[in-house]
Amino acid sequence: MMLKNRHLLGLEGYPRADIAKIIDTAFRFREVLDRPVKKVPALQGQTIVNLFFENSTRTRISFELAQKRLSADTVNFSASSSSLKKGESFKDTAKNIEAMKIDAVVMRHPTPGAPWHLTRFVDAVIINAGDGTHEHPTQAILDMMSLQERFKRLKGLKIGIVGDILHSRVALSNIYGLITMGAEVTLCGPANLIPLHVGELGVQVNHNIDEVIEWADALNILRIQRERMGIGLIPSIREYRRLFGITSERLDRHQKEIVIMHPGPMNRGVEIDSQIADGDQAIILDQVLNGVASRMAILYLLMGGQETKPE
Ligand code: CP
C-alpha cells in the first residue's frame, strides 16, 4: 500500500507525508492530461463504482474522467434511478454491488459518516466524495494542489475561507489539510455560520472581510447555500453581499494581488462577482483541471497501481 490508510474518508488526522505524496503524484498526472493521448494503463482490470446519492457536476465527472484516464472500468450508480426507490436499504444496495466484484467505491452521500459506515460491510477501497456537512477530502487535495501550483509552497501561506463555514464540508477538509501542511487559515463569515470552538482546530476567525483580504494570499470563497436562507440563517442576499461578497469594487479598493478560489457551484452576484470569477486573479478553472489529476493520484495510490508509475 502506498498510503498509510486504506481508504480516504477525510483529512482529519491524515498524515502530512501522504498529503504531500498525493499532491506530488497529481502534478505528474497533470502532465499526462497535457498529452495528445491522455491515458495510462495504471488501473487496467480494476473496477470502480461511483455511488452518488446527492447531486454533483464537478466531483462526479472529475472522478469518472480520472478513472478512464487510468484505464479502470467504471460503473455509475445514481440513487434516484435505483432500487433504493423501491425500499432497498443502503446496506443491501452496497452488498449487491460488491457481489459483482468491484475494487473501489467513490461515494457522495448526504449523511455525515456514510463512507465510514460503508467500510464496515464492504471490502473495497472507499473514497469519500463528500458526506453531508462533514468532509470533502478530494476537494481539499485539489485546492491545496492549486495553491501549491500558484505559490510553489503551502507552508506559511495565508488562506482566508469565506462564507457558510458551519455547513461546509469543503471548509472542514480544507482546514484539516491546510493546517497539517503548515498554512495559516482565517475563517470569515456571519457569526452564526462559523462553528463555536473552531479555534481548537488551529484557525483564526475574523468577521471583517476587508481585513481578511489585506491579510490573505488567497481566498477560498464558499457557496452561499440559498436553500438555507428560508430558514433564517442569512437575513438577505443583498446584506450578505454587502458584508462578505467578493465584489469588483471591494477588490479594487484593496489594490492587492490576491488569488481567488471557489469550489463551485458559484452564485454569481452573491458571494462572488462575475468579473472576479472570470478575472485574472481567479484560479477556479485550474482547480477543476487539478481535480482530475488529484483524483487520478488518489485512485492510483489507494488502488496500488505501482507497476505503471506516471513518468
Ligand atoms: N465542488 C464540488 O463538490 O462540486 P459538485 O457538487 O458539482 O461536485
pLDDT per residue as tens digits for the range 32-84: 999 999 999 999 999 999 999 999 999 999 999 999 999 999 999 888 888 88
> What is the model's pLDDT at position 84?
87
Evaluate whether 16-136+288-302 and 137-287 have a shared fold: yes
Q: Please say if the pLDDT value at position 107 is more than 80.
A: yes
- Report the largest interatomic distance among the alpha carbons of the chain, rounded to a whole angstrom: 59
Q: In what order do the strands lie in the sheet with 184-188?
A: 204-205, 184-188, 158-162, 218-221, 259-261
> Quick one: 137-287 is in which CATH superfamily?
Aspartate/ornithine carbamoyltransferase (3.40.50.1370)
Q: Please say if the pLDDT value at position 308 is more than 90.
A: no
- As given in the structure block, the three cell numbers for residue 55 are 447531486
Atom of ligand 1 nearest to the CA of 129: 3
CATH of domain 16-136+288-302: 3.40.50.1370
pLDDT digits (tens, 9 = 90+) for 199-256: 999 999 999 999 999 999 999 999 987 766 656 777 788 999 999 999 999 999 999 9
> What is the model's pLDDT at position 81?
81
Residues lining ligand 1, Cβ inside 6 A: 56-60, 130, 139, 263-265
Q: Please say if the pLDDT value at position 311 is more than 70.
A: no
> What is the model's pLDDT at position 234?
78
Distance from the CA of 265 to the center of ligand 1, in angstroms? 6
Residue 168's nearest CA partner among 112, 118, 236 is: 112
> Radius of gyration of the chain from Cα atoms?
19
Instruction: Delimit the domains of the chain by residue range.
Output: 16-136+288-302, 137-287
pLDDT digits (tens, 9 = 90+) for 120-178: 999 999 999 999 999 999 999 999 999 999 999 999 999 999 999 999 999 999 999 99
Q: Please say if the pLDDT value at position 88 is more than 80.
A: yes
Atom of ligand 1 nearest to the CA of 291: 1
Residue 197 CB partners (closer than 8 Å, separation 6+): none
How many Å from the N-terminal Cα to the C-terminal Cα in the chain?
A: 19
Q: What residue owns the CA closest to ligand 1's atom 4?
A: 58
